[in-house]
């Protein structure tokens, strides 16, 4: 096993690593090391322009202008960002807090209606 050194990281990165790592059967530390290796390889790669990928992710460049490999990197990042946002959503709590009604499908495809909480508009 390789030697390790303690490193401080922000809470958001740690939480993300814990979440993604759990799905991949990795600890948070293992997930962060995995991301670091990927980042190291990307920056060292002559076939992937980190700046071009970052520009697409920041909305400053068109996705179709990237190479196939760069597009794959962008898609992987988009997938991770979308997954993190979806898993962080609690729409039931948000609707209840704002007093809004809503409908959803249960696991069998049946419509379930949730009435508005007191004090909010009934709009579903």
Give me the tens of pLDDT residue by residue for the chain, a chain 124 residues long.
567 788 898 999 999 999 988 887 889 998 898 888 878 777 777 778 888 989 999 999 999 999 998 998 899 889 888 988 888 889 889 998 999 999 999 999 999 999 998 755 555 4
Using only C-alpha atoms, the chain has a radius of gyration, in whole angstroms, of 20
| pLDDT, position 123 | 52
| pLDDT, position 2 | 65
Name the helix (H) or strand (E) containing 114.
strand 111-114
Q: How many CA atoms lie within 13 A of 115 on its CB side?
A: 3
Where do the structural domains in the chain lie, given as residue ranges? 11-88, 91-124
| pLDDT, position 119 | 56
- Tell whether pTM > 0.75: no
| pLDDT, position 6 | 85
């Amino acid at each position: 096993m390789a030697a390790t050194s303690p490193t401080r990281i922000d809470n958001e990165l740690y939480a993300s690593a814990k979440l993604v790592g759990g799905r991949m059967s990795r600890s948070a530390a293992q997930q962060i090391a995995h991301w670091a290796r990927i980042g190291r390889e990307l920056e060292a790669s002559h076939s992937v322009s980190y700046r071009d990928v970052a520009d697409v992710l920041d909305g400053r460049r068109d996705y179709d202008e990237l190479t196939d490999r760069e597009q794959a990197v962008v898609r992987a990042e988009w997938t991770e960002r979308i997954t993190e946002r979806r898993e962080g959503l609690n729409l039931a709590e948000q609707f209840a807090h704002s007093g809004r009604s809503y409908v959803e499908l249960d696991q069998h495809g049946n419509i379930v209606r949730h009435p508005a909480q007191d004090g909010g508009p009934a709009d579903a």
